[in-house]
């Protein structure tokens, strides 16, 4: 026996479909708001205005030929080697190493560092969360010139 499709059936079908769409959209909005804090960079506007200065500093660093390599020396340590244009060790002072998550500021961590020789710094990774991280290294190079490097790092 086939029942007749009435206006009441149609309105129930429409309400059910639109109700499902609204419920799914509400769920997606909830996960979007709670999953991402909304702040990727503190003081983004002022950093954006200073972007040209950062490009000029980066170009000046390339002209100097200074380089930095980062390699895992063991499970809990990261060895940073600073070299000059000729490949000779570059003396650095007051090194600051920050390990940060690309999207969540709550996972940012300043790593303890120790000097292992001229141009060689060891940063301790103990207690760092696993996964994709960005490494921001800032140091005073020869003649007090500030040098900054960024590297992508995968911790497992």
With bands split at pLDDT 50, 70 and 90, how would you rate the model's confidence at 149? Answer: confident
Rounded percentage of the chain residues whose pLDDT exceeds 70: 97
Tens-place pLDDT, residues 13-36 = 999 999 999 999 999 999 988 877
- 111 contacts 79 by C-beta, under 8 angstroms: no
141: pLDDT strictly greater than 70: yes
- Checking 31-36 for CB contacts under 8 A at 24+ apart, the result is 36/103, 36/104
DSSP H helical ranges for the chain: 7-35, 44-49, 51-64
- 113 contacts 123 by C-beta, under 8 angstroms: yes
DSSP per position, 27-61: HHHHHHHHH--S-SSTTHHHHHHTHHHHHHHHHHH
Considering just the CA atoms, what is the radius of gyration of the chain in Å? 26
pLDDT score recorded for residue 7: 93
- 135 contacts 99 by C-beta, under 8 angstroms: yes
pLDDT score recorded for residue 26: 97
The whole model's pTM is what?
Answer: 0.62
pLDDT score recorded for residue 39: 66
Distance (Å, whole) CA 9 – CA 141: 77
């Amino acid at each position: 026996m086939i029942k007749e499709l009435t206006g009441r059936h149609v309105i129930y079908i429409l309400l059910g479909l639109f109700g499902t769409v609204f419920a799914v959209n509400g769920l997606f909005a909830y996960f979007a708001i709670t999953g991402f804090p909304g702040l990727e960079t503190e003081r983004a506007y002022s950093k954006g205005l200073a972007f040209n200065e950062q490009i000029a500093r980066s170009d000046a660093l390339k002209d100097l030929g200074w380089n930095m390599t980062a390699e895992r020396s063991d499970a809990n340590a990261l060895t940073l080697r600073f070299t000059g244009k000729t490949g000779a060790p570059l003396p650095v002072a007051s090194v600051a190493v920050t390990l940060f998550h690309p999207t969540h500021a709550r996972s940012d961590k300043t790593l303890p560092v120790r000097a292992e020789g001229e141009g060689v710094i060891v940063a301790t990774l103990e207690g760092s969360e696993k996964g994709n991280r960005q490494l921001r290294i800032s140091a005073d190079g020869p003649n007090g010139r500030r040098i900054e490097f960024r590297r992508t790092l995968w911790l497992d």
